[in-house]
């Protein structure tokens, strides 16, 4: 199975900060990497697919990059509604696997 | 509006069975590959499995912890996805989400399954 490792597991940031979350795959997943945002008690929301394509309706402050084994999610200017847990997922080979999550908290 | 609505969760004893449903609307369900993911209380997301379209043979794939116990199926006439869960264990306790596609373009709201004696 492909292991997905997210770093950091948590971070504290201020409104307006630029935030970068990293996701590393134990083997290459080509471009087949998605990012999700989850708030407490809610279902996850899809942000990015194919490593860098933004889902419709997702603000352009979110961006994704990378291919192969190393990927990043960047939030250009953190806003109060962005405090949440973020997950990456590879869908290159079965079983599909998720990263452990990155909790973004208010500093 | 594209929407997925899960139902069928509840409390079941270890060794018991439960069937979850996921009603789809707002898109051509018969053309969609569909997936299930779960999230144990306070934990991260865990992929459960996926079903392809009938034109792709309706093939299924499962995660190792559920293979042989869980079965994913679909009824395209009812725009509904199913997850049949047998031989349930306490570690299957989780919120179960259905999703559109391999990359979970759309998520349902989730349904809670509690396995406890």
Which residues of chain B register pLDDT less than 50? none
Which A positions 34-93 lie with beta carbon below 8 A of chain B? 34, 36, 38, 43-46, 49-50, 55, 87, 89, 91
Confidence at residue A49, expressed as pLDDT on a 0 to 100 scale: 97
Confidence at residue A78, expressed as pLDDT on a 0 to 100 scale: 95
% residues pLDDT > 90 (chain A): 98
pLDDT above 90 for A107: no
Which residues have a Cβ under 8 Å from the Cβ of B17 and sit 6 or more positions away? Answer: B84, B85, B86, B87, B88
The tokens for B107 are 């998520």
* CA–CA gap between residue A12 and residue B55 (Å, rounded): 47
* CA–CA gap between residue B83 and residue B96 (Å, rounded): 9
Mean pLDDT of A61-88: 97
Mean pLDDT of A16-27: 97
Determine the Cα angle at A15 with ends A58 and A55, to 5°: 10
Q: Considering chain A, what is the average pLDDT of its residues?
A: 97
Chosen from A43, A50, A51 to mutate, greatest number of chain B CBs within 10 A = A43
pLDDT above 90 for A34: yes
- Judge: A98–B63 Cβ closer than 8 Å, yes or no: no
- Judge: A98–B47 Cβ closer than 8 Å, yes or no: yes
- Judge: A45–B107 Cβ closer than 8 Å, yes or no: yes
Mean pLDDT of A9-20: 96
* CA–CA gap between residue B21 and residue B47 (Å, rounded): 17
- Judge: B107–A96 Cβ closer than 8 Å, yes or no: no
Q: How does residue A82 score in pLDDT terms, banded at 50, 70 and 90? A: very high
Confidence at residue B31, expressed as pLDDT on a 0 to 100 scale: 97
pLDDT above 90 for A106: no
């Amino acid at each position: 199975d492909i292991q997905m490792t997210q770093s950091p597991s948590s971070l504290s940031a201020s409104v307006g900060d630029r935030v970068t979350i990293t996701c590393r795959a134990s083997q290459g997943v080509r471009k087949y990497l998605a990012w999700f945002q989850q708030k407490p008690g809610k279902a996850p929301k899809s942000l990015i697919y194919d490593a860098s394509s933004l889902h419709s309706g997702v603000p352009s402050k979110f961006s994704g990059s990378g291919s192969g084994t190393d990927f990043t999610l960047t939030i250009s200017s953190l806003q109060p509604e962005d405090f949440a847990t973020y997950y990456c997922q590879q869908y290159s080979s079965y079983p599909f696997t998720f990263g452990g999550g990155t909790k973004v908290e208010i500093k | 509006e594209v929407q997925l609505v899960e139902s069928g969760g509840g409390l079941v004893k270890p060794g018991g069975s439960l069937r979850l449903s996921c009603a789809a609307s707002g898109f051509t369900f018969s053309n969609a590959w569909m997936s299930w993911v779960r999230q144990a209380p306070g934990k991260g997301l865990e992929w459960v499995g996926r079903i392809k379209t009938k034109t792709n043979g309706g093939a299924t794939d499962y995660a190792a912890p559920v293979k042989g116990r869980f079965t994913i199926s679909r009824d395209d006439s009812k725009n509904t996805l199913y997850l049949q869960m047998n031989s349930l264990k306490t570690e299957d306790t989780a919120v179960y989400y259905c999703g559109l596609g391999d990359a979970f373009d759309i998520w349902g709201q989730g349904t809670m399954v509690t396995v406890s004696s």
